[in-house]
Structure 1
């Protein structure tokens, strides 16, 4: 059964699946669907066309699905979609999409710490950590297992690669490659995320190949296009190198060096 506190407002049309708990002074709009066992603790506002999956914990004063701050947004019926098993801490704001991607999407098993802002048309993958005060501008993409340090602004249209880690207080205005550490204002690459890769179960061979790839891209001084050709020739079957190469080839804003 669902539990709805007497002070909460759940509009007609909202769908609450079994086990949902709606705490004091929460507001849930008519076009919202909330999955099994998700908890809204108190003073949470969820509106717009919003789908929230199962087993999420959403802490006090979170706002989900409100209209974009993009001045071009004219009220189009865009969406906010959130997966399962996320922890969304106090004062997080997550805005609905615009007519670009038509949705803002957050995957599963993520931790969004206090005061994180997720702007319109952002895509966050699975198993990511966004520390306190991270600000994702519109159209940002954060790939799986990325960690972004506190008080870090990410410029619109940037992409943050999987298994990367950025230091707190960095300013990111170009893409962060997978598997690396970046830090600074503005951010620069500091090295391979060796400890993080080991903790996530990357084999010694995986890490060795990525170290070679890191040197070829960031340390040997070769033109980037030549470095990518070298990687494709030397590691034709390595799935991590393939992802890294494709990430760089498809970068729209250029990569952080």
Structure 2
């Protein structure tokens, strides 16, 4: 038996036992597998596949939440696997949890309130994002990895499995450990994205200047802002704007 009260788009397939509450809007060509629950003020785009027993849009696990109207917005072409839990935003955090396009959330992933996820991200089994976390595009999070609240992870960064991330991870970097630290660049991800080797070489050079030269981090980052390479410039801006700090081994 299904309970469908929300607005459903064209050509959607809804499995047995699915619950879709009245304030839910789902786009076209979506597949909702048996016993998934979609609730709250949730907007879901086209071509999404939500697997069995996922719970999407249930109230935030935040004691400050008092029932105010907040949103969960999910884009297009996402895969949300079994037993994933995704919460909407809170009034104090901006009111919205937002997930972009083409993301894969594997089984038992948790996305807490006020999280922002970009496009083409992969979160492996049981990855856990606390409130207010931001993931830029093409981020990969290994399985069993918790991300501390208010952490920001830059584009094309990769976090090793069973790590614990308490500080910001810059774009293009590889981090792992408990607590996670930078271990170098995510070269595999960069080679998949950029066919121009010169771009990768310039990012490598910037990484060494920032994290291996022993020079003051923000001083180096300010100089790199003048780079003509947009990716190097983004890396420098990320470092300068970090609020939780960058976890790297400082060389004296």
Residue of structure 2 in register with 1:55 after alignment: 47
CA deviations over 1:85-133 (Å, ceiling 9, x no partner): 0010000000010012211111000000000000000001000000001
Report the TM-score when normalising by structure 1: 0.94
Q: How many aligned positions are there?
A: 247
Is 1:156 equivalent to 2:149 in the alignment?
yes
Aligned to 2:84: 92
The equivalent residue for 1:83 is 75
C-alpha distance in 1 between matches for 2:195 and 2:238: 19
Structure 1 consecutive aligned stretches of length 4 or more whose deviation exceeds 4 Å: none
Q: Which residue matches 1:3?
A: none
Q: Report the 3-state secondary structure (helix = DSSP H, G, I; strand = E; otherwise coil) of the residue aligned with 1:51.
A: strand
TM-score, normalised with respect to structure 2: 0.96
- 2:235 counterpart of 1:247: no
For the 8 Å contact 1:33–1:52, the answer to whether it is kept is yes
Please state whether the residue corresponding to 1:66 is helix, strand or coil: coil
CA distance in 2, matches of 1:230, 1:89: 43
Please, which runs of 5 or more residues in structure 1 have no aligned partner?
Answer: 1-6
3-state SS in 2 of match to 1:80:
strand
Aligned residues: CA RMSD? 0.9
Q: Does residue 123 of structure 1 match 2:116?
A: yes
- What's the CA shift string for 1:229-250, capped at 9, x where partnerless? 33234x2x21101111111111
2: distance between equivalents of 1:53 and 1:202?
A: 31
> SS of the residue aligned with 1:50?
strand
Instruction: Give the unaligned 5+ runs of structure 2.
Output: none
What is aligned with 1:23? 15
Aligned to 2:105: 112
